[in-house]
Amino acid sequence: MQSELQRDKLKTIMFFLFPSILGLLLFSIIPIIASFLLSLSKWDGLTRWNFKAGVPNIVGFGNFKEILTDAEFWKVLGHTLYFIVLYIPLILFSSLLVANLLNNDFKGIVAYRVFYFLPVLTSWVAGALVWKWVLSPLYGPLNEMLRFIGIKGPGWLQDAAWAMPGIVLASIWKDMGFFGLIFLGALQGINIEYIEAAKIDGATWWQRLMKITLPIISPAIFFVVVICIINSFQLFPQIMIMTEGGSAGPHGATQVMVERIYKYAFKYFKMGYAAAYSWLLFVIIFGFTTLQMKLQKKWVHYDE
């Protein structure tokens, strides 16, 4: 009797889980397997795929070897790492600054919070087009402001040295409100008694920040860093719109991983090569995330 009840319960559970399992299978698991099989082939995306004959033009790990021995891959990876080195410190600083500003009780604070969050809701297409105009060396308002104070502005998206910093500026503007909201929640979760006790003991603002605030919100900082690095390796829309996928940028200074995957797949019709690129990107992101999970034990503090 009990076994029958358990079987009926299992059937009921599977009935409700079936749509989710089917969706996971059709839109996640099967595409992942297919992309790996494609990475082992030279399929161009146009040749008809005969399922009975299997994956056409199997080359094994030839695509991976070709990518890893190509100087372009390491140059593109360098561009991505350069973006991360610029982006991570600036987004952390700006987001924490916004969170501290918004963690106050003054008239109109709700309106300010909405204002800072608006870029997050803005389409990247619209935002990137605006920033392409802002960073224009000829008529952009940023260079006009620099010229007003006697500074000759750089070429930004047309300058190899300044193209990626321009992309970083646009990305910080877009993401600052989202991560600032996360930090705001973390700051509001701090027990005010800790701060008051530190003030009574004579701790300076800097000491309170380093010894109390940052350690308490370190889990939120860790979360933001992980998400930022993953997003940075998947950098794409701002690159495509602001520098036309790196082709409009000077000497390909803004070519990055996802942009290369897109170009090889849908412009050069090298689907197998693009699939191999995407798997290498997965390995890199997985490696960085695993490293961060291990390093968090040294600086992230969780409540016991």
- Of 255, 253, 260, give the one whose Cα is nearest residue 277: 260
Work out the pLDDT band at 249, boundaries 50, 70, 90: low
Average pLDDT, whole number, for the chain?
87
Does residue 23 have a pLDDT over 70?
yes
CA 75, chain centre distance (Å): 19
Does residue 245 have a pLDDT over 70?
no
Quote the pLDDT of residue 116.
84
Does residue 267 have a pLDDT over 80?
yes
Does residue 186 have a pLDDT over 60?
yes
Work out the pLDDT band at 299, boundaries 50, 70, 90: confident
State how far the Cα of 92 lies from the Cα of 235, in Å rounded to an integer.
18
- Of 286, 213, 164, 195, give the one whose Cα is nearest residue 172: 164
Q: 183-216 in b/e burial notation, b at 16+ Cβ within 10 A?
A: bbebbeeeeeeeeeebeeeebeeeebeeebbeeb
Quote the pLDDT of residue 280.
95
What are the φ and ψ backbone dihedral angles of 41, each rounded to 5 degrees?
-130, 175
Work out the pLDDT band at 153, boundaries 50, 70, 90: confident
The domain locations on the chain are 15-60, 62-298
Q: What is the torsional sign of CA 136, 138, 140, 146?
A: positive
- For the residues 192-204, what does the mean pLDDT come to? 85
Helices 218-233/271-295 angle, 10° precision: 170
Does residue 2 have a pLDDT over 60?
no
Quote the pLDDT of residue 219.
92
State how far the Cα of 189 lies from the Cα of 199, in Å rounded to an integer.
18
Instruction: Give the tens place of pLDDT for each residue, 42-63.
Output: 888 777 766 555 556 778 888 9
State how far the Cα of 6 lies from the Cα of 14, in Å rounded to an integer.
12
Does residue 223 have a pLDDT over 70?
yes
Q: What is the CATH number of domain 62-298?
A: 1.10.3720.10
Quote the pLDDT of residue 167.
93
H-helix segments, the chain = 2-24, 30-39, 62-68, 71-102, 109-121, 124-134, 141-148, 163-188, 192-200, 205-208, 214-216, 218-233, 237-242, 257-266, 271-295
Query: Picking from 1-10, 19-28, 144-153, 208-217, which range would have the lowest pLDDT averaged per residue?
Result: 1-10
- For the residues 263-284, what does the mean pLDDT come to? 92
